[in-house]
Structure 1
Amino acid sequence: MRFPRVGQNIQIQSYKHDGSLHRVWESTTVLKGTAKTIIGANDQTVVSESDGRQWRTKEPAITYFSTKEWFNIICMIRKDGIHYYCNLGSPVTWDEEALKYIDYDLDIKVFPDMSYKLLDEDEYSLHKRRMNYPKKLDNILKNHVQELIDWIQERKGPFDKKFVDKWYKVYKRVRR
């Protein structure tokens, strides 16, 4: 599989388990693209929802996607610190059109003090029934919720402030 190149602006597309388009981020700048990890950044990017609504991100963000992990992480850089939004979803793929993954509803919101909250459990239960998530998938996602919580508690990867600082500096340099 090929990967997006550093400096390339790409689109990110999330889908639901049934194949329907869920959300599209119009432009993210690639900072790193390897067989395991794609790190990007965006600021003031347009996001389109499946119902036609559009909105614009409010602050710079570093994005972490994995071709192995069943989650992705958005590190939003705000005045009061780094806020994280973590999506439980399939490992990403890249097909020259966009970086793509399946969104599995569960999210974890992490605050600058590293406290966190699991979100959208009701939505997950509803879609699990409606879209017939297999038991194996349910187990994978539950295991990755715990893995993500472990990363948060250990300050691993994107949850280490140095990670965000490093990639934000790279983003500012690449953007010039």
Structure 2
Amino acid sequence: MKSKTGDLVLVHAYKHSGKLYRSWEKVIIFEETNDYLILINEEVLITEINGRKWKTNEPAIWFFFKEDWYNIICMFKERGINYYCNLASPYIFEEGTIKYIDYDLDFKIFNDYSYKILDLKEFNRNRIAWNYSREIVEQIWKSVDKIKIMIKENQKPFDHNYVTAIWDEYTKLKSEN
């Protein structure tokens, strides 16, 4: 199904076990290409599996990739753009919902491009509990290496000017409608 700019979609994150664990409502499609999907998050309602609900605090641009094993959230914070990268399966889009499997490891990238890798213990615990295949584990570690290079070289979307230009284009389109 081909989407169009301005469509509202759901985003569902699953664990490897197949269990839905987090849902985002009314995320805006900004652009879809053959390789990626760009979403806009503005005051999006998030529901956790335990029933807890909360809204995003700051506007963000969310990149999903059709072949790559990660997705990247670019958050506009008071002190600049920060990034959050989920190591995850490539997404699928069906019935108005973007779906992916979250593989626990995350990068938190700060405005100065320093970063932390998060949730290594959770990754190792779930890798064993849910019997991640060797191929999945290798794919995740290849993606970790690739993301480190992308951050170091400020490759898109880890480029403040690129992300800001997308946001400016989105706000211009929004003001015209």
* Aligned twin of 1:161: 160
* Cα deviation digits, residues 94-141 of structure 1 (max 9, x gap): 013301100000000000010000000000001001100011110000
- Mapping for residues 57-72 of structure 1, pairs under 5 Å: 57-72=56-71
* Cα deviation digits, residues 58-97 of structure 1 (max 9, x gap): 0000111100110000000011000111000000110133
Residue 42 of structure 1 and its aligned partner are, at CA, apart by 1.2
Residue 145 of structure 1 and its aligned partner are, at CA, apart by 0.7
Q: Helix, strand or coil: the match of 1:51?
A: coil
- Does the 8 Å CA contact 1:3/1:34 hold for their aligned counterparts? no
* Cα deviation digits, residues 25-55 of structure 1 (max 9, x gap): 1121111112211001111111111111111
Q: Which runs of 4+ in 1 moved over 3 A?
A: none
Q: Distance in 2 between matches of 1:73 and 1:91?
A: 12
1:18 and 2:17 are equivalent in the alignment: yes
Residue 6 of structure 1 and its aligned partner are, at CA, apart by 1.1
Give the AA of the match of 1:96.
E
1:81 and 2:80 are equivalent in the alignment: yes
* Aligned twin of 1:36: 35
* Aligned twin of 2:131: 132
Q: Cα RMSD over matched residues?
A: 1.0
Q: Helix, strand or coil: the match of 1:159?
A: coil
% of aligned pairs identical?
A: 37
Q: Which runs of 5+ in 1 are unaligned?
A: none
* Aligned twin of 1:101: 100
Q: Distance in 1 between matches of 2:21 and 2:173?
A: 29
Q: Which runs of 5+ in 2 are unaligned?
A: none
Structure 1, 28-37 or 73-82: larger mean CA deviation: 28-37
- Does the 8 Å CA contact 1:4/1:94 hold for their aligned counterparts? no
**Aligned positions, number:** 175
Q: Distance in 1 between matches of 2:66 and 2:75?
A: 21
| Higher-RCO chain (CA-CA 8 Å, sequence separation at least 6) | 1
What's the TM-score once normalised by structure 1's chain length?
0.96
Q: Distance in 2 between matches of 1:78 and 1:108?
A: 17
Give the AA of the match of 1:66.
F
Q: Distance in 2 between matches of 1:162 and 1:10?
A: 26
Residue 175 of structure 1 and its aligned partner are, at CA, apart by 2.8
- Does the 8 Å CA contact 1:3/1:94 hold for their aligned counterparts? no
Q: Distance in 2 between matches of 1:171 and 1:40?
A: 10
What's the TM-score once normalised by structure 2's chain length?
0.96
